[in-house]
Structure formats: C-alpha cells, structure tokens
Amino acid sequence: MRARDEESLLGCLHPRQICWLLAVWRGNKPTAWIESMEIKAWDGFLALIRSMDLCCSYETPTGRVFVQGATLAEAPEGVTGLMFVPEHRWNDVLRGGVPCDFDHLDPRAPLAEPRANLHSFIQAYVARTIDDLVDAMRARETHD
C-alpha cells in the first residue's frame, strides 16, 4: 500500500481509532475494538490491516470472518489467512473452540460484506495474533 493511500485511509478514521490501531501494531496494546468505522473506510482498513501484518475479525450477516495479516510464517498447516465461522458455530468458539476449527477459505476469494449497524457503521476487532483476537472477542461477547 502506498503512503498516500495509507494517509487517505487514516483521514477516514477517528483519531482514537488510529491510536488504538497503532498501539496494537507496536505491541503496546494486545487488542483493539474498532467501533463506528464508516463504510467508506472499510476496504482501505482491510488493506491497512494486512500491510501492518495484523489480524482482524468482523461480523457478516451469516457469521464471522477472520483476516490474518500478510505473514503466515507461524500459522499451522492449512491456515490460509482468511477464515470463517458460520453464525451457528460461533457459540462453540465463544465456549472454547480453537481457530484450527475454523473454515479456511481461499485468501484470493472476495471478502464477505461486513454487517453494518443502522447508521452504516462497522465494528471490527484487531490484534497481532488470531489467538489474541479470539480471546478478546470471548471476553467482550460473553460479558455483554
């Protein structure tokens, strides 16, 4: 991603979202919940996540998508960098299912559209690893 593209994307995010994203990228914060992101920033956000070698997860109308960053050196065999958990299996993951149980997708496949709220905003979790991402989601979603 070119620097100009990154600057353009960062201009679409709230300064607090930028700080949280950079804190995760630098290792100062294990995870971040990016809420109320405008739909127009979504494609650039995903490109930025991949260029920063971070992981993110977001909700779709049929389940959860997990995107792993650019480097998959530590990934188990069969992990493709793009995973999906159907909505009917999500509670299993919240109760302790592991990322190895996810459906691995072709990373070249188009990503599913995120589920936006009534005001056309998107929410995503961001972390350095898939395990940290799942732990944060478990903590947040089992206590809401």
Q: What is the pLDDT of residues 56-68, one digit of tens each?
A: 988 888 888 888 8
Residue 141: left (phi > 0), alpha (psi -120 to 50), or beta?
Answer: alpha
- Percentage, residues of the chain above pLDDT 90: 14
- For residue 14, the number of C-alpha atoms closer than 13 Å in the C-beta half-sphere is 12
pLDDT at 89: 81
- Percentage, residues of the chain above pLDDT 70: 65
pLDDT at 9: 65
Parallel, antiparallel or unpaired: strands 63-67 and 31-38: unpaired
Residue count of the chain: 144
Report the candidate in 101, 91, 79 with the shortest Cα–Cα distance to residue 138. Answer: 91
pLDDT at 22: 92
Q: In this model, does residue 73 exceed pLDDT 50?
A: no
pLDDT in tens, 85-128: 888 888 888 887 665 556 665 554 555 567 665 557 788 899 99
Q: Which of 29-33, 46-50, 54-58, 98-102 has the lowest mean pLDDT?
A: 98-102
- Name the pTM for this structure: 0.75
Which pLDDT band, with edges at 50, 70 and 90, does 15 fall under? confident
pLDDT in tens, 78-95: 445 677 788 888 888 888
Mean pLDDT on 18-35: 92
Q: What is the helix, strand, coil percentage profile of the chain, to 5?
A: 40, 25, 35
